[in-house]
Chain A
Amino acid sequence: MGLTGLEIFKQLPKTNCKDCGQPTCLAFAMQLASGKASLDQCPHVSDAAKEALDSASAPPVALVTIGKGDKELQLGNETVLFRHDKRFEHPTGIAIKVNDTDDDITAKVQAINKLVFDRVGQIHKVNLVAVNNASGDAAKFTEAVKTVQDSSDFALVLISEDAAAMEKALEVAGANAPLICGANAANFDAMLALAKKYDAPLVVKGADLNELAALVEKAGYKKLILDSGAREVNNVLADQTQIRRQALKKFRPFGYPTIAFADNEDPIQAIVDAGVYIAKYAGIVVLNTADPADVLPLITLRLNIYTDPQKPIAVESKLYEIGTPGPDAPVFVTTNFSLTYFCVQGDVEAGRISAYIMPVDTDGISVLTGWAAGKFTPEKITEMLNSCGIADKVNHKKMIIPGGVAVLSGKLQELSGWEVLVGPRESAGIPSFIKQRWGA
C-alpha cells in the first residue's frame, strides 16, 4: 500500500453519494488508506483512477505462477529484506536440472519425484524439474521435455536460449504454463512472443543489472522472473540484494522474483551456494543434483528461513517414544513448541536414554512463555497425562517436569496423583539428571 488517504482522495469521483457506505469521499479514502475498505465498494470510480490506485498499491514484488493445477508454484509477493521485519512469504522454488543429453531421463525424474521429506509432521519437497537443452538440438530437447512431462510430479522449467527449439518444446508442454528460460538481449522478441502466445512465465536475463532493467521495461509483460546474469556466488549475493532492495523502493523493473543457478563445479560448493541463494532472496534455485543427501539440507534450510517468526511451528501434541522405552522408562513433560520439543528430544537421545516425551499443547509456545500465558498449567498436563495413554505404558507414576516451572509441582501432584520430579532448568542437564536421580 503506502498511499495516504489524501492521495487516494484525489483519484475518487468526489460525489459524496454515500453509495460506498461512508458519509463522504474523503472518509472513504481514509478507510481505504487504513485497509478497512476496498475500492470496489465505490461504483463510480473511473477505470483510469482504478489503474493508478492499483499500481500504486501493487505489492513491490509481483506474484508469478509457474505450472497449472496441483503442480502450480507461486513465487514473489515479498515485502521485506529481513525475515524478522515481517516474514518471507513464498518459499524459494527448488528446481532439479535434467539435461536432454542424459542417458536415462526417466530414471533421473523418478529420483527427483522421490525427493519428498517429512519434517515436523509436514511434507516438504522440491518444486520443479528444469529440462536443459544441453544438446543444442531441437528434436532432442522436445523429446526430453515430453519424457519429463509424462513422468514428473512437478511443473517444468524449459532451459534453452534457442527460440526455435523453445517453440518446438512448447508445442508439447506449453499448455501447462512452464517457465520459459529464457529471453536475453539476442533472442528477446522471439522468446517474448512465445511467452505471450502460451501465456507462460518468462525468465529475462541481462548481462548485468542495467541491461536487465532495460529488457524488462521493453517487455511490457508482467509474468517475469529475473536473472541478472551473475554466476559467481559473491556477485549473485550482491545482485540479489540490489534487486530486492530496489523492488522494495518501488523500482518497477525489478519488481519480480528471481532465478539463481547453483552451477558450481564442485558439488559441495554448489550446495553451499544454493544455501546462500535460499537465504538471500532467490525465487527459484536450480540444482544439478538429485542426491537426497544434497537436497535434504537445502529443503530444511528453506523451511527454517521461510518460517513465520510470529507463528512458532508446533509438533503434534501426542506421546513420543525415544529409543525403545520399557515400562520403567522415564516420562518427560514439555510443550509442543517444535524448538522446545527438539531440544528435549535431542538431549534425551544424546544421553542414550530410552524415554517417553509428552509435549503438552501450548499452541506452540515455549515452556516459560506457556507458563506465563496460562497455557502450561497443572490442569492441562493432567488432562494430557490421562488422555495420551501413558499410564498403560509404564509401571510407575512418576513424571519429570522442566526445572523452570518447578512451581507447578505441588498442584500437579495433587491433581494427577502422579509423583512429580523437578528436572533441570535446561534440557542439556537431562542425561546427568537421569544418571543421578532416576532408578537410583
Chain B
Amino acid sequence: MAVTIAKEKWTSKVGEMVLGADSSVKAGGESTLPFLHFEGDVPNKVVLALEVWDLEPVDWPEILKAPFEGVLADPVAWAKKNVEYGADAVALRLMSAHPDFKDASPEDCAATAKAVAEAVNVPLIIIGCGVEEKDAEVLEKVGEALAGKNCLLGCATEKNYKTITATAMVNGHSVVASSPLDINLAKQLNILMTEMNLPTNRIAIDPLVGALGYGIEYAYSIMERARMGALMGDKMLAMPVICFVGQEAWKAKEAKSPDDESPEWGAQERRAILWEVLTTTTFAQAGGSIFVLRHPETVKQVKVHVDKMMESNAY
C-alpha cells in the first residue's frame, strides 16, 4: 500500500543572519520546520557559542569551572579556550559593568571586547550585564570599538532598544531582541527596531527561555509559533531565535546539586551535562538557531546530534 507523503507547502522562510568580520557564520534561512528536510531546506547548522565573562564567576559549580581552569580570570585566554573547544562563536558577557560588581565604565568594557575580538577568529556575541540603562551605554561604546566586526549585540529590550539599534546600524552589527515569553511582545519589539531601519536579517529573537524543568515548554511553544509564523510569511517573526541555554540550565537544581546531596538523581556530572544538552536539543526541535552555552562537553554532544539531524530525511 503506497502512502502519499504529507508535505506542507510553506510560502516563506526564516531570514538568514550573517555573523563575523569575514561573514563566516550563518544562522537561520530554513524554509521548513526543524529538520524536516523532506519539505524544505535547512541551509545552516545551529550556531553554538560558549560564554566568556570579563569577571571571574564565583558561584559556578566546580564541574563547570573545571574545563576553564586557569583562564576564568582572563577573558582573552578564556575566549581562545572556547574556540579550542569547538565553539562556533564566543559570547562575551560584560558582567563587570554591573553596578553591583565592578560598575566598570563603558570604555573599559569596550577595551575588553576589543582585546577578545582580536584574539579569536570566530564571531562575537556581546552581552551586557542585564541592567537595561547601563547596557545601552556600554553597548554603544563596545559597538563603536568593534565597528566592522559584525557582532551580535544584546540584549535590547523595550526600554533600551533605541540606543543599541542605532549603534548596530552605524557600526554594522546585529542585535538580540529580548522579550519575556510572549510572541506578541517579541513581534512588537521587532517592529519598533525595523522602524528605525535596521534590516530584519540583523535581528535575533530572544524569547528569554527557561531551562528543562523550569518553563522550557513556554519557550518551546513560542518558538514553534514563531517558526510557523515565519514559514507562513510573517516578516516580523522571520528572524533566527537565540536561546541563552547555559545561563538557565546551570541555574537548575538538577545541574548544581552534588552527588551526595541528591543520590536518587544519579551522578551530578552526567545529569548536569544532560540538563544543558537536552534543553538545547529540545529547543532545536522547536526552531532555535543560535545557542549560548557554558560547558564544552555540551558543545561536543550537541554537534554530534545536529550533524545527524542535518542528514536528509527526504522520502
Residues of A whose CB lies within 8 Å of any CB of B are: 82-84, 114, 117, 119, 209-210, 213-214, 217, 232-235, 237-238, 241-242, 245-246, 249, 251, 253-254, 266, 268-269, 271-273, 275-276, 279-280, 291-294, 296-298, 300-301, 303-305, 307, 309, 339, 342-343, 346, 349-350, 352, 428, 431-432, 435-436
Could you give, for residues 214-228 of chain B, a 1 whenever the CB lies within 8 Å of some chain A CB and a 0 otherwise?
111110110011001
* Chain B residue contacts of A246, Cβ below 8 A: 3, 6
* Chain B residue contacts of A117, Cβ below 8 A: 264-265
Given known A-B contacts A117-B264, A238-B38, A266-B304, A279 and B3 have beta carbons under 8 A apart:
no
Closest Cβ of chain B to A305, distance in Å, is: 6
CB-contact partner of A301 in B212, B266, B271, B308, under 8 A: B212
Does B9 make an interface contact (CB < 8 A)?
Answer: no
* Chain A residue contacts of B254, Cβ below 8 A: 296-297, 300
Given known A-B contacts A210-B2, A234-B311, A271-B278, A342 and B215 have beta carbons under 8 A apart:
yes
Contact call B221/A309, Cβ cutoff below 8 A: yes
Q: A233-B308, A349-B253 are in contact. List 14 more A-B contacts (CB 8 A).
A: A237-B35, A241-B36, A266-B304, A271-B277, A279-B285, A292-B265, A292-B271, A293-B268, A293-B274, A297-B212, A300-B213, A301-B278, A301-B282, A305-B220
With the chains together, A293 CA to B100 CA distance in Å? Answer: 36
* Chain A residue contacts of B312, Cβ below 8 A: 234
Contact call A272/B3, Cβ cutoff below 8 A: no
- State the 5 A-B residue pairs at the shortest beta-carbon distance, nearest first: A293-B266, A238-B313, A292-B266, A293-B270, A293-B271
CB-contact partner of A309 in B6, B217, B282, B304, under 8 A: B217
Contact call B281/A272, Cβ cutoff below 8 A: yes
CB-contact partner of B282 in A233, A279, A291, under 8 A: A279
Interfacial residues of chain B within 27-83, with CB under 8 A of chain A in the complex: 33, 35-38, 59
Given known A-B contacts A210-B1, A292-B264, A119 and B213 have beta carbons under 8 A apart:
yes
With the chains together, A214 CA to B1 CA distance in Å? Answer: 5
* Chain A residue contacts of B266, Cβ below 8 A: 291-294, 296
Given known A-B contacts A83-B217, A84-B225, A210-B1, A237 and B309 have beta carbons under 8 A apart:
yes
Chain A binding surface, main DSSP class: helix
Could you give, for residues 194-228 of chain B, a 1 whenever the CB lies within 8 Å of some chain A CB and a 0 otherwise?
00000000000000001011111110110011001
Most chain A beta-carbon contacts within 10 A, residue among B1, B215, B254, B282: B1
Contact call B274/A233, Cβ cutoff below 8 A: no
With the chains together, A276 CA to B283 CA distance in Å? Answer: 10
Contact call B35/A234, Cβ cutoff below 8 A: yes
A-B contact pairs, 22 of them (CB 8 A): A83-B224, A84-B225, A238-B36, A238-B37, A251-B3, A269-B308, A271-B274, A273-B305, A279-B282, A292-B266, A293-B274, A294-B271, A296-B254, A297-B212, A297-B254, A297-B275, A301-B216, A304-B213, A307-B217, A309-B221, A339-B218, A342-B214
With the chains together, A245 CA to B8 CA distance in Å? Answer: 10
* Chain B residue contacts of A294, Cβ below 8 A: 266, 270-271, 274
Does B301 make an interface contact (CB < 8 A)?
Answer: yes
* Chain B residue contacts of A84, Cβ below 8 A: 221, 224-225
- The residue in chain B whose Cβ has the minimal distance to the Cβ of A230 is B313
Contact call A339/B304, Cβ cutoff below 8 A: no
Contact call B270/A237, Cβ cutoff below 8 A: no
With the chains together, A339 CA to B214 CA distance in Å? Answer: 6
With the chains together, A210 CA to B212 CA distance in Å? Answer: 36
Closest Cβ of chain B to A418, distance in Å, is: 27
Does B273 make an interface contact (CB < 8 A)?
Answer: yes
CB-contact partner of B315 in A238, A253, A269, A428, under 8 A: A238
* Chain B residue contacts of A303, Cβ below 8 A: 213
With the chains together, A135 CA to B44 CA distance in Å? Answer: 44
Closest Cβ of chain B to A254, distance in Å, is: 8
* Chain A residue contacts of B1, Cβ below 8 A: 210, 213-214, 217, 253
With the chains together, A266 CA to B307 CA distance in Å? Answer: 14
Contact call B214/A293, Cβ cutoff below 8 A: no
With the chains together, A309 CA to B222 CA distance in Å? Answer: 11
